[in-house]
Amino acid sequence: TLLIECDLERSSLARICGCAASPGLREWVENLSPLRIVRSSVDNLLIIPAGTPPTDPARLIWELVESGLVSSLAAEFRNTVIDLPALVTSSSGSLTARLADHLVLVVRSATTPVNQVERAVELIGRERFAGVVLNAHSPRSWGRRRQP
């Protein structure tokens, strides 16, 4: 499985996976370095880190979309996962979503407003919407059961 970090404005994947963030996707798009694919500590997971934050993420994403890189990598790997920025609140979110065939929204429990989730589904289209992952959920956030 290949995980491509395309959240260029708020990249955190390299830090979480314990690898250097740069060189990464940004440096490849700008022809500053060869494409760097890093083996993670998770079995069968390779990562392309985002690289250093760009000054114009929308331009960089547009160049990435035009490059065809993601399509060519998807042909090489059994599973290709793209870590996208927030679709509704990011300047490049909806453009970045063009890189994927299907999208799974990651929604933070008790934080992400329902109207943002609905707007994200509208932006990507129901035919490309593959589901939701609810993260940072605490069982305490559910309503208490009434006792008879």
* Calpha distance 85→89 (Å, rounded): 8
pLDDT (tens digit per residue) in 56-104: 988 999 999 999 999 999 999 999 999 988 888 887 788 888 888 899 9
Statement: the pTM of the whole predicted model exceeds 0.85:
no
* Contact in structure between 36 and 23 (CB atoms under 8 Å): yes
* Calpha distance 42→35 (Å, rounded): 20
